[in-house]
Structure 1
């Protein structure tokens, strides 16, 4: 496996994608749709703006980013879920396999092309995401971290989609399984958490029951929204004077910070024992490592399924 071989495959994949004019149209529609929704969200925030609620750029950044994450992960499976079985169905995959390219070159090259397309999709959302940064409502460090995490999550979904493409013979089936995988990460993890919580209950004398979310918090860790929100650096604290006391509190209206505080609070037996987010143990390292491990496993599966000679050809699929 060489970087040069993977780069050759990636360039070929990108050229193939650019030959169809529909990509330009889809990207244009995506740019207008996402940034238009971001602008509408900002106008709605300003229409109901209260100076005591802090800068409207803070909820705009968090809200738009979470929306962009979900929408991007819903678009991403289409970028890689047909990359291998689609070529096999068209009889063009064997052309690559008979060259000196290794299975790893082909797998990584196709992943790089799909991931690069996903990053272009993310890049087109930057106008509405960087608006609060330009205003000074959100620091550039926080923006850089969350964009990096979003880019990694896009790569994970691209790898998982490609893994399904390598495992399944039909591209329609691999696309469906890719979307089900994304659905499982985004929606399935909180559902599984809610189902598991009642099983953690301890029954005490008098019929009193106590639930222990700290025993199953890890079920939420792989959720992309949880990883993104918890990895975001905290916003600078605000000084609040109450009588003779001065308190440092988090700025209001921050969706990322609020989600992070709630999830981190699940890791301790009494979620209110710690008053600030930074005093609570983080969740995002566990979730991100789990997601990256899933992606790495999917890449390994893709390379393994590309090895030749084939022992068995899927029914109804051409080799060349």
Structure 2
């Protein structure tokens, strides 16, 4: 593979994209949306120093969301669109190999998706500086975002080489991304609700006498109520949490380092989402549960649960597994695009235009 030929093909592809006025309209709309979201974040969170970290994480999520929505449109017809326009065959008869053509299409689509990150850069810098976001959090979140944009671009380019019709390849790209994002979330929710465990809770509580001005309240003056037993079902999300591993938002959330304040509250959206994601790995309390409120009527012997950091330390990070699955999917689609695009072709789909 020649880097010079790939660079030339990428340059030609980007020049064609830059001539499209709609591309600049999309970037302008994205900038306006970021500006509005930044203003709303300042209004909601108040102090800029407190809202900066939240604003930063929200902007990163928003960039990823827009990349997932826009990239399939920009990359889903990269190969079959050129074939329909009769601009692919002239390139295939040059010294450029099929692998170089597919690689150039992928890189051009990746760079196009990263343009949204360039537009978001001023907002990210502003939020990062004002909110004193940790440098490691900035570096990791941006690196994962760069890779995720590349995965989405590879999915679109791969389908554009495998499928003959641009409409079908764009639709297939959207369906695949929907399966990774919305589909994994639905599977997680329905799977946890479908797999349940039975819990039997037996408890009693102190019953205090009426008190008023003549009869002051005495915390030690009570009678024990009757034991009550009830049974209910709890979802087993700990058995299905693995389906979220390949979700792009879950990968970004799990890979970004978390930070918590003095009151054990998350400092940003990354930390809160990561805590919820990791808590789904912890099995719920099952079987027979017994609580005697009369043994500790004041609640002084209450044992607090694990802290947020203890929850993260006791659970398993999965971002690298999800990212590996995404890379395998993207690489497989690109390989399929290479196999269907290489020349000379032994068989072509009916109605396929060659030149």
Q: TM-score, normalised by structure 1?
A: 0.87
Q: Are 2:292 and 1:267 equivalent residues in the alignment? A: no
Change (3 A) 1:317 1:230: same
Q: Are 2:265 and 1:238 equivalent residues in the alignment? A: no
Q: Which protein has the bigger helix share?
A: 1
Please say if residues 85 and 171 of structure 1, whose CA atoms lie closer than 8 Å, have aligned partners that are also in contact. Answer: yes
Instruction: Name which one, 1 or 2, has greater alpha-carbon Rg.
Output: 2
Name the structure 2 match of 1:105: 100
1:210 offset after TM fit, Å?
Answer: 4.6
Name the structure 2 match of 1:293: 328
**344, 350, 354: which one aligns with 1:309:** 344
Please say if residues 72 and 122 of structure 1, whose CA atoms lie closer than 8 Å, have aligned partners that are also in contact. Answer: no
Q: Are 2:316 and 1:281 equivalent residues in the alignment? A: yes
C-alpha separation between the residues in 2 aligned to 1:97 and 1:91? Answer: 11
1:186-244 superposed Cα distances (whole Å, 9 cap, x missing partner): 21111011222244334578965454322211101111111111111122x4345xxxx
Please say if residues 38 and 55 of structure 2, whose CA atoms lie closer than 8 Å, have aligned partners that are also in contact. Answer: no
Change (3 A) 1:3 1:274: farther
C-alpha separation between the residues in 2 aligned to 1:58 and 1:189? Answer: 27
Alignment of structure 1 residues 44-55 onto 2, 5 Å? 44-46=43-45, 49=46, 55=50
Alignment of structure 1 residues 1-320 onto 2, 5 Å? 1-31=1-31, 33-46=32-45, 49=46, 55-202=50-197, 209-235=233-259, 237-239=260-262, 249-252=264-267, 254-270=268-284, 275-276=308-309, 277-279=311-313, 280-320=315-355
Please say if residues 229 and 259 of structure 1, whose CA atoms lie closer than 8 Å, have aligned partners that are also in contact. Answer: yes
Please say if residues 158 and 337 of structure 2, whose CA atoms lie closer than 8 Å, have aligned partners that are also in contact. Answer: yes
- Provide the aligned C-alpha RMSD in A: 2.4
C-alpha separation between the residues in 2 aligned to 1:4 and 1:200? Answer: 55
Q: Which moved more, 1:62-71 or 1:267-276?
A: 267-276
C-alpha separation between the residues in 1 aligned to 2:54 and 2:131? Answer: 13
C-alpha separation between the residues in 1 aligned to 2:261 and 2:34? Answer: 30
1:85 offset after TM fit, Å?
Answer: 0.4
C-alpha separation between the residues in 2 aligned to 1:311 and 1:152? Answer: 35
1:251 offset after TM fit, Å?
Answer: 3.8
Q: Which moved more, 1:173-182 or 1:146-155?
A: 173-182
C-alpha separation between the residues in 1 aligned to 2:47 and 2:343? Answer: 65
Q: TM-score, normalised by structure 2?
A: 0.79
Where does the alignment leave 5 or more consecutive residues of structure 2 unmatched? 201-229, 286-304
Query: What secondary structure does 1:316 align onto?
Result: coil
Where does the alignment leave 5 or more consecutive residues of structure 1 unmatched? 241-248
Change (3 A) 1:278 1:91: same
Change (3 A) 1:35 1:314: same
Query: What secondary structure does 2:50 align onto?
Result: coil
C-alpha separation between the residues in 2 aligned to 1:198 and 1:45? Answer: 34
Change (3 A) 1:41 1:22: same
C-alpha separation between the residues in 1 aligned to 2:146 and 2:89? Answer: 31
C-alpha separation between the residues in 2 aligned to 1:203 and 1:72? Answer: 42
